[in-house]
Amino acid sequence: MGLKKRRGFIGPLGDDIPSIFPIVAGVLLFITALMYANDQMHERDNYLRLKKAGLELSYAALDKGYVSTQAFHEKCNNSVKQVAKKNGVFFALVLKNCEVSAIDKQRLADGAPANPFLGTPVCNSEGIVFDEPAQTTDITSHNYDGYGPRSKPNDFIALSYPVATDCAGGTTGLGMMNIITWYQ
C-alpha cells in the first residue's frame, strides 16, 4: 500500500527541478535587459559628450562670425586645439571661403571637374598629444584615398556654419565652416 502513494515522487529536489528552469530564465532575461539599457545609456552619453565638444570647438572657431584666412590659422593654433585637447577629441575644421582659386578657374576652363576644396584652409588635430598614449593618432594618419583598408572613426559629429570670409578684391562674402569631431 505504501508504494502506490509514493508513485511518481522523485525526491524533494527532483520535484522542484522543472520549476527552477523558468526562474533561471527570468533572472537571465532581467540581467540581460539591465545590461542592454546600460549600454544604450553609455552610448547616448558618449554621443552627447562628443556633440558638446563639437559645439565648444565651433564656438572657439567662430566667436565673431567673421573669419579671415590668417585669423583662421591663428584661432586653430591658439584656441581650437586647446579646446580639443581639453575635451579629448580629434577634429578637422574646413573653411570654404567665397573665392574660386585661380587654379580651379583654370581647371574649369580646361574642362576638368572643379575641386571644391582646392586651396581651402584646413585645421586639424595634428600635433596634439593627449595624456593617454592610446589616443595619439590623428586624421593625417588615416588612409582616405578610397583604396585599401580604412581606419575611420566609429562616431563623429559634423557641423556646418555660414561665416563671413574675405573674397577677391578686398570684399567680404559668404563662406562655410565645416567642423568634424570624433573619438578614436
Number of domains in the chain: 1
Whether 3 maps to a domain, the answer reads no
**What's the rounded Cα separation, in Å, for the pair 67 and 86?**
23
For residue 173, what are the contacts with CB-CB under 8 A and spacing of at least 6? 97, 98, 164, 165, 166, 167
Give the integer Cα–Cα distance in Å for 119 and 89. 26
Q: Is residue 67 part of a domain?
A: yes
Domain with 77 in it: 21-182
Judge contact between 66 and 163, C-beta under 8 A.
yes
Confidence check: pLDDT of 139 > 50: no
Q: Residue 62 domain-assigned?
A: yes
The pLDDT of residue 27 is 96
Average pLDDT for 28-52 = 94
53-107 tens-digit pLDDT: 999 999 998 888 888 878 888 888 888 888 988 888 888 888 887 765 555 666 6
Residue 1 within any structural domain of the chain: no
Q: Quick check: 93 and 57 in contact, CB under 8 A?
A: yes
DSSP 8-state assignment for residue 117 = T
Cβ(175)–Cβ(163) below 8 Å: yes
Would you say residue 28 lies in a domain? yes
- pTM tops 0.95, yes or no: no
pLDDT at 55: 93
Per mean pLDDT, which range of 13-17, 21-25, 44-48, 59-63 is the poorest?
Answer: 13-17
- pLDDT score at 6: 60
What does the mean pLDDT of the chain come to? Answer: 76
- What angle (nearest 5°) sits at the alpha carbon of residue 90, between those of residues 89 and 93? 120
